[in-house]
Chains A and B, each alone.
Chain A
Amino acid sequence: MEAIQKEHDKVWNSCKQSKTTRHVDDIIVALQKARDAIAEDPTSRQVTLAKLQNPVKTMFDGIFSGLRDTHGLHNKYTRALDKVFKDKVPSNEIDTLSSHPTLINRAIYLHLLREGLFDVASTFHSEAVEKQQSQQETATNLDLDVPMEHPLGLDKSSEANMQEQFSNMYHILSELKDNHNLQPAIDWARKNAAALEARGSNLEFELCRLHFVSLFLDRRDEDQSDFDAPMRALQYAQSEFQSFRGRYLVEIQQLMGAIPFSSNLSESPYNTRFNHSTAWEEVASSFIREFCSLLELSADSPLYVAATAGAIALPTLLKLQTIQKQKRTEWTSQNELPVETPLPPSYRFHSIFVCPVSKEQTTDQNPPMMLPCCHVIAQESLQRLSKGAKFKCPYCPIESHPREAKRVFI
């Protein structure tokens, strides 16, 4: 990239100092001067014009030599680009998505909603509908078929619902993050308490606890004594923590225990509970996660995760493509990539089971089977090893019948 930067600087500089305009000006001035001279003294015109020939030609030559230099710099810059961008962006060979514009549009639309870009999303929506209409018109004129499905692949109800849900989410989030107002989030958590509990989520308590902490720390100007803020927190706890008493007793005890220490909290053992600079961020992200889960959506935008994973995996896949082209081989398995595409650990969402015998990943058709000795191999390997009769586990001395193997889910 530095080489590119350097070459580009040169090109840009030469553009800034370009003499082309100056030469053109010179020519105009020369012509003008000659004209003025001739207008003043028509008899001198032969001499003046004869004298004009060479300078004008030289000036044009000057322009051309400047252009030649620029051209050389352009070529150098092109070479610098070629050096970094050795490979072309892979084209249609890896592209299986062109036939699904609607699905991509939908993914983008949902991504926009998810990012809170409601204006952009609604522009997209109206533009897509508009475009489809005009396409349909042209198509009827030309007598062609066009798909009649919704251009963003949404049905009416889910479309309105998604938009509403996400704008609700952003309202709650902006209250939470910008105004440190937890009430909308707490209301939401109460409304969905049953679903959240089934997930084993502590969101509601986390929110209420943060509210307690923020009341506790919130010193106001009109306060008479240092204890007013902890007392407000205590009042809040008395009214709101009743329902949590059974489950979060220890946590609540800790919060209460901090009240006597309010004057020197930072030296007390309760400090960690209260002095938590990232608490708001954490609560916000746990809110997003729970909110999306209840909508059956992943917490981070799938489009973002997939595009980023793609950028990471692409160089490997491109290399593969080049090799396949050179060797003229094709990968026989349609279902699986032929090379490993390592991704950072945060991009792992499922457990992976590779059969230790066949080195194949298990699928619904070839599921993992657990032998009585608790070793797991793929079904096909099991069949191949046992041939229907009793056989020894490949990893320990225990023998078993294939009947005894149990389908497991990893």
Chain B
Amino acid sequence: MAADLTSIKLNPDSHVLLDQPLLRLPHELVKRNFRNTQRYVERERDQILPSLKDTANAALSSSQTPEETLASLDAMIQRMQTFKRKIDKLHAEEETLHEHSAKRIRHLQELYEIPSLADVKYDDWARTRLDRLMVDYLLRSGYSKTASSLAETKQISHLIDLDTFVTCHRIASSLNRGETKDALAWIAENKNSLKKLITAPYKCTNLEFELRLQQYIELVRAGTIPKKLEARMYAQQHLTPHASSRPDAIMQAAGLLAQEPNTEAEPYRGLFAPSRWRHLSNLFIETHHTLLSLPVQPLLHAALSAGLSALKTPACHSAYNPASSSTPGHARIATNTSLCPICSMELNDLARNVPYAHHTTSFVESDPVVLPNGRIYGRERLEELQRKLAMSGLGGGEGGIHDLQIGKEGEVRDPTTGESFTWEQVKKVYIM
């Protein structure tokens, strides 16, 4: 069938959509590494060249003793050696990142060699992908121990970015606890790239400003006169430089000085609210992920919500489907086919609010027949169930299956409800 051929076609280019962070992240890290290298080199050049020149000039004008010249050369050598250690470290880091990328490219390459979705190799690949998605989800949710143990068991450590997420989560939870130190240090580390983020087209909220504002709020909250004075100093140093981009926020901050922490007046109540820390923590995560080209939502969410919808049918939450785990007292006779994943208890609740898949043509078992209770099945499935039941001594005579003409004599068992009928009661039905 043509339809079946297209439905198992594997188009790797669109299929790797979910896998882009796999290559993007290490590349972002390489670029960051590169920028750091560049910065170090610039700094050293701007130090060494002038001081070399000064030393030479001083030697020429004989304003320096030879000992002093030697000392300043020693200082330069010292400096260069520290610099070399830094560069070596960055270089080693870069090598590891490239090695990771190479392994990941190879992993993605495997997908390009799989001919179709029905191939066994696709199954293996997709299982590894699920492991990756789960690790990604676990890391984002802060379950780093589980994540690393899963990665280790499945031997996919080269496909996950444990350190990046652990660092991110550490800073985010420090914000949740009401501490700004780690977050500000991270901002200082990434200052230049963050500047680019704040300007269009990303339209990220300025994390640094929000953090500074929070520190200011904490100073005001303390309430004593010296603290409030300190708050004013702090605002001048850290908030007023942003006056052009965030005029409203600065005005509000100024107004805050006149308020008590337990004020009911908005917007001051919102500024004093403890939930602001949670907001900051989320803002940090968002900024961090955007900076590293990581999707803000866990990849598992994207995959699952699409998958739940694609699999879901109106029957999955139907009151008349005993196989669905949402049906109270659902029968376990169910069917002699495999249970639907959406009907299964693991995903049933989760899928409740997603839309079901769109279909333009009916799909029913071939040769459909209707039982007196209105249930429709393929004739073959009913016959097979009868055969099996007869084999296990039910629904047929003691004589076994041989004297029995399956599909004509004996009783028909409804695979869903377990009711029994005779074959005379079974009618052909036409599904267009």
Residues of B contacting A304 with CB < 8 Å?
126-127, 130
Across the interface, name the chain B residue whose C-beta is closest to A354: B362
In the docked arrangement, what's the CA distance between A74 and B304, Å? 33
In the docked arrangement, what's the CA distance between A360 and B49, Å? 77
Chain A nearest CB, measured from B124 CB (Å): 11
Contacts of B298-340 to chain A: CB distance below 8 A: 299-311, 313-316, 318-320, 325, 330, 332-334, 336-340
Residues of B contacting A63 with CB < 8 Å?
41
- Tally the A-B contacts, defined by beta carbons under 8 Å: 467
User: How many residues of chain B are within 8 Å of chain A by beta carbon?
Assistant: 163
Residues of A contacting B95 with CB < 8 Å?
15-16
Asked if residues A81 and B304 are in contact (CB atoms below 8 Å), the reply is no
Chain A nearest CB, measured from B316 CB (Å): 7
A390 within 8 A of B: no
Residues of B contacting A323 with CB < 8 Å?
none
Across the interface, name the chain B residue whose C-beta is closest to A128: B143
In the docked arrangement, what's the CA distance between A127 and B143, Å? 6
In the docked arrangement, what's the CA distance between A32 and B357, Å? 73
Asked if residues B149 and A120 are in contact (CB atoms below 8 Å), the reply is yes
Interface segment out of the listed A168-176, A264-272, A276-284, A361-369: A361-369
A160 within 8 A of B: no
> A138-B177, A311-B129 are known contacts. Are A38 and B314 too (CB-CB below 8 A)?
no
Asked if residues B27 and A78 are in contact (CB atoms below 8 Å), the reply is yes
In the docked arrangement, what's the CA distance between A95 and B341, Å? 19
> A31-B77, A144-B278, A246-B400 are known contacts. Are A84 and B355 too (CB-CB below 8 A)?
no
Asked if residues B137 and A333 are in contact (CB atoms below 8 Å), the reply is no
> A56-B49, A249-B400, A302-B346 are known contacts. Are A314 and B18 too (CB-CB below 8 A)?
yes
Asked if residues A354 and B359 are in contact (CB atoms below 8 Å), the reply is yes
> A81-B24, A89-B299, A311-B15 are known contacts. Are A250 and B402 too (CB-CB below 8 A)?
yes
Asked if residues A349 and B17 are in contact (CB atoms below 8 Å), the reply is no
A52 within 8 A of B: yes
User: How many residues of chain A are within 8 Å of chain B by beta carbon?
Assistant: 155
Asked if residues B304 and A306 are in contact (CB atoms below 8 Å), the reply is yes
Asked if residues A96 and B333 are in contact (CB atoms below 8 Å), the reply is no
In the docked arrangement, what's the CA distance between A297 and B342, Å? 10
Contacts of A78-113 to chain B: CB distance below 8 A: 78, 81, 84-85, 87-92, 94-98, 100-101, 103-108, 110-112
Across the interface, name the chain A residue whose C-beta is closest to B332: A296
A21 within 8 A of B: yes
Asked if residues B11 and A1 are in contact (CB atoms below 8 Å), the reply is no
Asked if residues B357 and A67 are in contact (CB atoms below 8 Å), the reply is no
Across the interface, name the chain A residue whose C-beta is closest to B13: A84
Asked if residues A107 and B429 are in contact (CB atoms below 8 Å), the reply is no
Residues of B contacting A299 with CB < 8 Å?
338-339
Chain A nearest CB, measured from B40 CB (Å): 10
> A306-B341, A343-B311 are known contacts. Are A312 and B355 too (CB-CB below 8 A)?
no
Contacts of A340-381 to chain B: CB distance below 8 A: 340-354, 356, 359, 361-364, 370, 373-376
Residues of A contacting B305 with CB < 8 Å?
94-97, 310
Across the interface, name the chain A residue whose C-beta is closest to B387: A200
B392 within 8 A of A: yes
Asked if residues B45 and A60 are in contact (CB atoms below 8 Å), the reply is yes
Across the interface, name the chain A residue whose C-beta is closest to B415: A200
Chain A nearest CB, measured from B120 CB (Å): 12
Across the interface, name the chain A residue whose C-beta is closest to B105: A5
Across the interface, name the chain A residue whose C-beta is closest to B86: A24
Asked if residues A53 and B360 are in contact (CB atoms below 8 Å), the reply is no
Chain B nearest CB, measured from A160 CB (Å): 16
Asked if residues B17 and A351 are in contact (CB atoms below 8 Å), the reply is no
Asked if residues A46 and B346 are in contact (CB atoms below 8 Å), the reply is no
Residues of B contacting A100 with CB < 8 Å?
349-350
Please classify the interface of chain B as helix (H, G, I), strand (E, B), loop, or mixed, using the class held by over half of its residues.
helix
A163 within 8 A of B: no
Residues of B contacting A4 with CB < 8 Å?
23, 105
Q: What 1/0 mask marks residues of chain B from 269 to 301 whose CB sits below 8 Å from any chain A CB? A: 000001101100000000000000001110111
B108 within 8 A of A: yes
Chain B nearest CB, measured from A154 CB (Å): 11
Contacts of B391-406 to chain A: CB distance below 8 A: 391-394, 398, 400-402
In the docked arrangement, what's the CA distance between A95 and B31, Å? 30
Interface segment out of the listed B52-60, B216-224, B231-239: B52-60
Asked if residues B359 and A361 are in contact (CB atoms below 8 Å), the reply is yes
Q: What 1/0 mask marks residues of chain A from 292 to 303 whose CB sits below 8 Å from any chain B CB? A: 111011111111
Contact of A349 among B94, B340, B350 (CB under 8 A): B340
Asked if residues A106 and B402 are in contact (CB atoms below 8 Å), the reply is no
In the docked arrangement, what's the CA distance between A111 and B23, Å? 27
Residues of A contacting B428 with CB < 8 Å?
374
Asked if residues B66 and A42 are in contact (CB atoms below 8 Å), the reply is yes
Interface segment out of the listed B159-167, B193-201, B249-257, B368-376: B368-376
Interface segment out of the listed B1-9, B180-188, B207-215: B1-9
Residues of B contacting A197 with CB < 8 Å?
392-394
Across the interface, name the chain B residue whose C-beta is closest to A341: B310
In the docked arrangement, what's the CA distance between A89 and B133, Å? 13
Across the interface, name the chain A residue whose C-beta is closest to B393: A247
Residues of A contacting B156 with CB < 8 Å?
none
> A198-B333, A337-B356 are known contacts. Are A374 and B370 too (CB-CB below 8 A)?
yes
Across the interface, name the chain B residue whose C-beta is closest to A197: B392
A330 within 8 A of B: no
Chain B nearest CB, measured from A23 CB (Å): 9
In the docked arrangement, what's the CA distance between A298 and B338, Å? 6
Interface segment out of the listed A225-233, A234-242, A402-410: A402-410
Chain B nearest CB, measured from A369 CB (Å): 10
In the docked arrangement, what's the CA distance between A127 and B147, Å? 10
Contact of B60 among A28, A46, A92, A318 (CB under 8 A): A46
Residues of B contacting A38 with CB < 8 Å?
66, 69-70, 73
Chain B nearest CB, measured from A152 CB (Å): 11
> A341-B309, A343-B310, A352-B363 are known contacts. Are A199 and B49 too (CB-CB below 8 A)?
no
Residues of B contacting A32 with CB < 8 Å?
77
Asked if residues A97 and B41 are in contact (CB atoms below 8 Å), the reply is no
Chain B nearest CB, measured from A247 CB (Å): 4
> A12-B102, A52-B52, A89-B302 are known contacts. Are A35 and B308 too (CB-CB below 8 A)?
no
- A307-B303, A344-B118, A409-B320 provided; 7 other pairs, C-beta below 8 A? A31-B80, A297-B346, A309-B306, A340-B359, A344-B117, A351-B363, A409-B375
Give me 6 A-to-B residue pairs in the complex whose CB atoms sit less than 8 angstroms apart, sorted by A's number: A141-B178, A250-B402, A298-B343, A336-B357, A345-B4, A359-B360
